[in-house]
Every structure is written in structure tokens, then in C-alpha cells.
Chain A
Amino acid sequence: DAGVTQSPTHLIKTRGQQVTLRCSPKSGHDTVSWYQQALGQGPQFIFQYYEEEERQRGNFPDRFSGHQFPNYSSELNVNALLLGDSALYLCASSLGVGQSLNYGYTFGSGTRLTVV
């Protein structure tokens, strides 16, 4: 049973560039949430996708956008990269928007983004 897979594992970008990160949820899951984890901090919620729509959003600027595909996989896009966007980006999947209340999330290993 495949868990959550994220690609790429590492990425280096220059300030002002754009980046796309990808996530395939655990088999049977249909909801994808994205988190940003800066060094030494806990994960911060970016947004959540369900039925190909953004359902909830954290306190992140519009430079952060996403998409969910019919096969439930998801992309996170960040435009106009800043040095402060350097972080580990984690994808988490669950079955249904509210089911993580009962079962928690399954996390991928993350994409380490470095902006120089």
C-alpha cells in the first residue's frame, strides 16, 4: 500500500523564480493538505484540497497556489520566490476533509526547497 509520495526531494531555486512541487496521496485518500516547515519550527498549514477545490487556506500570500487533479494528486506552486520561502514542504493526505479529526494525516517525506 503506497504511502504519500512527493517530488522532487530537494530543489534549489533563485529568488524571483517559480517552483512547482508534486504530491501523490496515499492509496484510498482523497484529500491533500500542504504544510511549510521552516528550520526548527513546526509545520504551518498552507491549504487543503478536496474534490479539486481549495477548501481551506492558512495565512499564506497569494504567491502560494495549488491544484488537485481528478486522481487526487496535487501540486503546490510558489511564485516570485523569496529567501524566506526556504523550507521543507510537506504533503499530508487523509480520507475526507474532516476524517483527519479521527484518523490524523499520512505525511510524505517532504520536498526541501532552498532559495538562494
Chain B
Amino acid sequence: AQSVTQLDSHVSVSEGTPVLLRCNYSSSYSPSLFWYVQHPNKGLQLLLKYTSAATLVKGINGFEAEFKKSETSFHLTKPSAHMSDAAEYFCVVSDLGAGGFKTIFGAGTRLFVKA
């Protein structure tokens, strides 16, 4: 079965401090993993993706994520938060298995950045 769990519904950090948004996944096949960001009243924008290449993935706006198969995790990090990072973040797993191509979104993590 395929599933995505974002471990925190809300995360609050101060500007200039590190960001960690946690994501665990379950997939019976070799998955592709993504992080998307959604600013208020906007669509989703792709931040970064893992597709079975390097396990440490760099994305836009200074974000990174590390694929850890042994821990079934794909946590999103950024060394220093900026006010403009305040948004909703979604972890996504996609795979192609016996049941066909499936994409599942996590419930989202709201990131708050304090001045």
C-alpha cells in the first residue's frame, strides 16, 4: 500500500534559523518523491524531486531533502529560513505498480516564520 505521513501539521521557526519538515512514506515499489510548496491562494509549485538518482536532492530557494530508504523518510530542510518561506508544504509519493500509476499527497505542513 502507498501512503505519506507528514509528521507535523504546523512548524514555527524564527527567521534565519534552520527549517526541518518531516515526511515518512510507504510504497511497495521504487517510488519517486517530491516536495511541493503552496503559498496562500496559489497553486502548488515543485520544490524538488527524488527519482532514484542521488539521495541528497537540492531544490529551489535553498531547500534540500534526503531520501533515506532504511528509514522510509524524505525530510525537507533549509539552513536559514526567510520570511518568504512561510507557506504550506506537501510531501508526495508516486509509483508505478500493479495497480497502475499512483500519486499520493501528504496532509501538508504549515510553516510559520517569525521575524
A interface vs B, CB < 8 Å?
A: 4, 33, 35, 40-45, 56, 90, 92, 97-98, 100-110
Tell me whether B41 and A100 are in contact (CB under 8 A).
no
- Main SS at interface, chain B: strand
Instruction: Please report the total number of B residues contacting A with Cβ < 8 Å.
Output: 25
Q: Write the B34-64 contact mask toward A (1 if CB under 8 angstroms, else 0).
A: 1010000111111001010000000000000
B105 touches A42 (CB 8 A): yes
Q: What are 21 A-B contacts with C-beta separation under 8 Å?
A: A4-B43, A33-B103, A42-B90, A43-B44, A43-B90, A44-B105, A56-B102, A90-B44, A92-B44, A98-B96, A101-B32, A102-B49, A102-B51, A104-B34, A104-B49, A105-B103, A106-B46, A107-B43, A109-B42, A109-B43, A110-B43
Q: What residue in chain B is nearest A91 (Cβ atoms)?
A: B43
Q: Which of A40, A43, A101 is in CB contact (< 8 Å) with B101?
A: A101
B103 surroundings in chain A (CB, below 8 A): 33, 45, 100, 105
A97 lies within 8 A of B44 (CB): no
* CB-CB contacts below 8 Å: B90-115 with A: 90, 92, 94-96, 100-108
CB nearest to B49 among chain A residues: A104
Q: List B contacts of A90 (CB < 8 A).
A: 43-44
Give the shortest distance, in Å, between A32 (CB) and chain B (any CB): 13
Q: Are A107 and B45 in contact (CB under 8 A)?
A: yes
Rounded to whole Å, the gap between the CB of A49 and the closest CB of chain B is 13
- Chain A residue numbers with a CB within 8 Å of B36 are 104, 107
In the bound complex, what is the Cα–Cα distance between A33 and B105 (angstroms)? Answer: 14
Q: Are B105 and A43 neighbours in the complex by a CB distance under 8 Å?
A: yes
* Chain B hits for A4, CB < 8 A: 43
**Which of B45, B49, B101, B108 sits near A103, CB closer than 8 Å?**
B49
